[in-house]
Chains A and B, each alone.
Chain A
Amino acid sequence: MRLYIPSEDKDLIVRYRQGDELALKELIRRHKSKIFTTIYLIVRNRQEAEDLFQDTFIKAIHVIRAGKYREEGKFLPWICRIAYHLSIDVIRTKKNNPCLTADSSDYASSKLCAKEENKEEQLIQDEKEKLIHELMNTLPAEQKEIILLRHFSDMTFREIAALKKISINTALGRMRYALLNLKKLIKTNNYAHELYY
């Protein structure tokens, strides 16, 4: 088995374009949590999030292979922007077609579909999902979005301001209130230890 000497993302992208499939695997390994959490926090359904995670990488694969990827920023914010737009499209489609809307609090029902091959790992994952739901659902949508874009998608406040067409000051202010609100919630519900396992 070939082992990877730590490379920068941009080197992995070059290697992938040249036909090295393991370079893609390494990119996924590095960034899967942040990309998946970003998607999950938007669609709030594990199955949909997994489908969108897949779609995101398929789109990224096409862009990279077509030589259209430009290393203007970092790989993670770039791919998270793809994930963000695909997820928002799904939400918009649901709003326009209410009959397609799965119960958005359906993380519990999505559990029914989860594999049971590793129950302990699944339980931990379930607890984390529950916790994320509880934490994020208390935040106003605009604060939740800032957490998602800055914290999980690694976009700078300048990039977020451009994406959302708001000032950097507004983005920073929303993040401040989001963190202060989360602090209250973590303290009130004594979540701190659960966030670190």
Chain B
Amino acid sequence: MNFTTEERMIMKIYGETTASEARELNHVIDSDISLKKEYVELNGTFRSVSGIRLNPDDRIIKNIMEYSLISRRN
């Protein structure tokens, strides 16, 4: 499968490259200012989006646990 450098940058950010692929990609990124700028931007946004987390109300989890217990008894 062939990937562009930009696509490989996305794979690296999401941990879908091997160590050797990541090393090779680092060399490519470091030798191109515009690629490096884009990589920093993509990585920064990835970290920002990682900060977004919502949680269900505790009563929902309680409901699930109760359902699990009752249905096991039945």
Contacts and interface: CB of A to CB of B under 8 A. Distances in A.
Contacts of B16: 156-157
Interface stretch (A3-11, A74-82, A128-136): A128-136
A179 interface: yes
Given A53-B60, A172-B11, A176-B6, A132 B52 contact: yes
Interface residues of B, number: 36
Contacts of A157: 10-11, 14, 16
A125 B63 CA distance: 21
The range of chain A's interface size is 35 or more
Given A25-B65, A50-B60, A179 B52 contact: no
Contacts of A132: 52, 54
B44 A183 contact: yes
Interface in A21-72: 21, 24-25, 28, 32-34, 36-37, 40, 49-50, 53-54, 57-58, 61, 65
Interface of B: 1, 3-4, 6-7, 9-11, 14, 16, 38, 41-42, 44-46, 48-57, 60-61, 63-65, 67-69, 71-72
Given A28-B65, A129-B54, A195-B49, 8 more contacts: A33-B54, A37-B53, A50-B56, A61-B64, A61-B67, A179-B46, A182-B49, A183-B45
